[in-house]
Amino acid sequence: DAGITQSPRHKVTETGTPVTLRCHQTENHRYMYWYRQDPGHGLRLIHYSYGVKDTDKGEVSDGYSVSRSKTEDFLLTLESATSSQTSVYFCAISVGQGEHMGGYTFGSGTRLTVV
Amino acid sequence: SQKIEQNSEALNIQEGKTATLTCNYTNYSPAYLQWYRQDPGRGPVFLLLIRENEKEKRKERLKVTFDTTLKQSLFHITASQPADSATYLCALEWGGGGNKLTFGTGTQLKVEL
């Protein structure tokens, strides 16, 4: 596998609490992404990163922030969790660029429940 | 904004037959399109990428076509097996750099003995 791990795998948290999800890669890829997956909506991009300290918003970024202080780590933070953020969160890396473009490699996901 | 449509109804086929899944998109002309497989409780797994100047691409029992005029991609699995049962996702390059992808909701394939 491409060496991408997410932690934690499962989390239950209370409404209003901050939550941080971690994505770690071992292969020095430039691009990293956070998606959420919900029934009927599929995978939706939250934020992405194109390098250390370089991040940008995706389709559903409200209520989320990200940080990338090292190439290998991409953190997703829910500043004040809400029930609508109950979801499965996937981190992904993009393999290759341009003519050598491959697909994404996804982590195993974090199932987050906000009660 | 771009919209991707995949058949939300499950596709049930008999082992040995060819499965054909459809991905339609609107409002965009992607430079490439990708297909993924997702099993329950797991992250999606990349299968194939096809570029806008390619009509067809094959990998073992998989074949993907890309018709930029019709704004449609077809994904074929020949000689299907029960192990091919999964949800298959279509994804388009979003544009604006960053190799960003937008995904369809997927079609569930069930291959029966």
**Domains contained in chain A, number:** 1
CATH of the domain at A61: 2.60.40.10
Look at chain A and count its residues: 115
Task: Determine contact: A15 vs chain B, CB below 8 A.
Answer: no
Over residues B46-93, the pLDDT tens digits come to: 999 999 899 899 999 999 999 999 999 999 999 999 999 999 999 998
Q: Of the candidates A48, A56, A105, which has its C-beta nearest B46's C-beta?
A: A105
CA atoms of A17 and B39, how far apart (whole Å) = 31
How far A56 CA lies from chain B's nearest CA (Å)?
A: 9
Q: Sign of torsion, CA A63 A61 A102 A31?
A: negative
Residue A52 has pLDDT above 70, yes or no: yes
pLDDT band at residue A74, thresholds of 50, 70 and 90? very high
Residue A43 has pLDDT above 70, yes or no: yes
Residue where the block lists tokens 């609508």? A84
Domains of chain B: residue spans and CATH: 3-112 (2.60.40.10)
Res B31: pLDDT: 84
B7: tokens are 């058949």
CB contact residues (below 8 A), chain A span 31-90, against chain B: 31, 33, 35, 40-45, 48, 50, 56, 58-59, 90
The boundaries of the domain holding residue A68 are 4-114
